[in-house]
Every structure is written in C-alpha cells, then in structure tokens.
Amino acid sequence: MKWNVIFDPDFKLWFYQQEQELQDEVFSVLILLMEFGPSLGRPRVDTLKGSSIKNMKELRIQYKGEPWRILFAFDTERQAILLVGGNKTGNKRWYKENIPIAERRYEHYLEQLKQEEQ
C-alpha cells in the first residue's frame, strides 16, 4: 500500500527556495518513503530522540557531502507530513532548535484535521 506525503505550508515555502538539485535528492527519498512508509529505516529514516511526539522521525539526506534533515511524522490517515528541513552542518543545536518547531506544526496540523472531520 502506498503512503501519501504532504508538506506543511511553512515547510513547502522553505523547500521550494532550495536548489533544484537538493529538491531532486529529497524527491528521490520521498519515493522510498511513499513505498515503504513507517518501515523505511536507516540510513534514510530514523526515529527522533528528544521529541514529545513519539512518531516524529527524520529523513536523512546527504547532499554535496553535508547532512540535511527533514523532520516529519505519520498521521492517522497514512500520510507523512513534512514539517521542518535544513542543513545541520556545524550546528550542534539543530535538533534542539527545530524539534519544537516541528512539534508545533504537527499539533497545528492535527487540530486542522479534527476541524475538517467535524
């Protein structure tokens, strides 16, 4: 069964400002995510430590020799929502800075889902 991948609006703005080659690399990994869903593991996907959301994960992408990460979570609709992305080279605080952003965006997304169901 295929999994859907959706972009948080703020993530989408960030993503389409990136180089085309990086976008292409991300899309190649997203194809795997759509095929394998939560069973896709390392080296492409890893579970995040330090998040209050237990199903928060990261896409792990090497681009031009640098580690790029995209934080995402699976929802109850069998969709992966991409929340935050960036290059973590030289930033030891990358996760500490970005996990809270991803958590807020995911909570907002879940609130929107609940409103749509009503």
Q: What is the pLDDT of residue 113?
A: 87
CATH code: domain of residue 106: 3.30.2310.20
HSE, CB side, 13 Å, CA atoms: give it for residue 68.
18
Residue 74 is part of which domain span? 4-117
What's the pTM value of the predicted model, to 2 decimals? 0.93
Residue 28: both structure tokens together: 């190649």
Instruction: Tell me the pLDDT tens digit for each residue of 39-52.
Output: 898 889 999 988 99
Backbone angles phi, psi at 12, to 5 degrees: -60, -45
Rounded distance, CA 39 to CA 115, Å? Answer: 29
Q: How many domains does the chain have?
A: 1
Instruction: Tell me the pLDDT tens digit for each residue of 57-104.
Output: 999 999 999 999 999 999 888 899 999 999 999 899 999 999 999 999
- Helix ranges (H only) for the chain are 9-15, 20-36, 94-117
